Amino acid sequence: MNRKVLGAGLALALPLLVILFANLGRDPHAVESPLIGHPAPPFSLSPVEGGPPVFLASLKGRPVVLNFWATWCIPCIEEHAALASAAERTGNDAQFLGVVYEDEAPQVQRFLEQHGKAYPSLLDGDGKTAIAYGVYGVPETYFIDTQGTIVAKFVGPLDPPTLEAHLALARGQKP
Amino acid sequence: MTRLFPALLLAAATATPGPSSGGRDATDGVRAVVGAPRGGPVTASDLDARTKEVAALLRCPVCQGLSVADSPATMAMKMKAEVREMVAAGYDQDQVLAYFERSYGEFVRLKPPLRGVNWLVWFAPLMGLLVGGGVVAWALRGPKDGAPRTTTSAPLDVDALPEDPALVPYVLKVRELAYGWPAGVRPKAEPS
């Protein structure tokens, strides 16, 4: 009888243990973006410092790095230097864009004056662009290829090698 | 100069809006995803109720298990505003949910639709109940040969000893205390 109970207990517990161990180390909040491989949602957003709105569709032909960020987000501050130096290095080979997430223009302008501004940051006051891209929080970075297709999404602060690897994907190079 | 050149290119880009780059002043970005509104116009009095109904089916992406309708988070408020705008424009519930699902995945739906492995979510509890009921019925089943059902309270063999030798002294002690048997062993029946 005890053997039967033990067998039944194992039969029930083993699959659960296998599932547990197979998923240890996986972030339960990480949901893969369904937009990967699909056209990037269009937007037209005004730069934080004013001027005409930026249309995503008019950037076709160049890879786009679309970084959702905020001044109150510490990982965004951490990755700022990596993004700025990559934007300066790639020049017109790729278009870097920031999209301000739940933040105010004056704070953003002050931040960019202090930390350097290598590419435009756009205001998304009503959050429609963040919603269209399925943003969960900041920082989140979308890599869009020359055809306007989202090829990758990176959640969290980017370091230079990760940024370079994702940018290569957006350029159409094999990783 | 390296800084100026991309800036110039961007300026050129902003001057010529592409055909698909909607200003999102209405819900044209939505239309590209879910098509033309399928529902009729919504009256002002209905709008709040309908918005709440649909927003209650959407998961707030920055909260833990709260719906967009219930969450006070800024992101949820913005999603609710988007739902309201879509409902006002005549999009029906399925279209609104499909729009959010396109960007956030099925995770954004608080009620998983009946498709794929989701069938399990809906029917596994029922299956579990049936299987559990079957197991209980099997455990309580009567004898196979149609013999009269005996109760489980069959007379207990009070002289039997446990298989585990370590338990034997305890059982004997209990019998000694409970029945007054010397050393826990039933005294030989005296001839009457």
Query: pLDDT, tens digit, for every residue of B9-42?
Result: 444 444 443 333 334 444 678 888 899 898 877 8
Is the pLDDT at B190 greater than 90? The verdict is no
- Please give the mean pLDDT across all residues of chain B: 80
The partner residue sitting opposite B102, judged by closest CB among A34, A42, A118, is: A34
Q: What is the pLDDT of residue B146?
A: 55
Q: Mean pLDDT for each 10-residue chunk of chain A (175 residues)?
A: 85 91 78 91 94 93 96 96 95 95 95 94 95 94 96 94 95 79
Q: Do A127 and B9 touch (CB under 8 A)?
A: no
Cα A150 to Cα A140: distance, rounded to the nearest angstrom:
13
ipTM given for this complex: 0.85
Cα B154 to Cα A24: distance, rounded to the nearest angstrom:
51
Q: Is B72 on the interface with A (CB under 8 A)?
A: no
Helices and strands: H and E segment counts in chain A? 5, 7
pTM: 0.72
Tokens of B94: 């399925």
Task: With beta carbons less than 8 A apart as the criterion, state whether A154 and A55 touch.
Answer: no
Task: With beta carbons less than 8 A apart as the criterion, state whether A79 and A158 touch.
Answer: yes
Q: Do A55 and B21 touch (CB under 8 A)?
A: yes
Query: For residue B185, what pLDDT band results from cuts at 50, 70 and 90?
Result: confident
pLDDT tens digits for range A86-137: 999 999 899 999 999 999 999 999 999 999 999 999 999 999 999 999 999 9
Task: With beta carbons less than 8 A apart as the criterion, state whether B182 and B176 touch.
Answer: yes
Scanning B111-140 for CB atoms below 8 A from A yields none
Q: Do B105 and A130 touch (CB under 8 A)?
A: no
Q: What is the pLDDT of residue A157?
A: 94
Q: What is the pLDDT of residue B145?
A: 59
Q: Kindly report the nearest CA distance between residue A120 and chain B, in angstroms.
A: 8
Q: Kindly report the nearest CA distance between residue A152 and chain B, in angstroms.
A: 14
Scanning B13-42 for CB atoms below 8 A from A yields 13-24, 29, 32-33
- Name which of A13-17, B90-94, B148-152, B174-178 the model is least confident about: B148-152
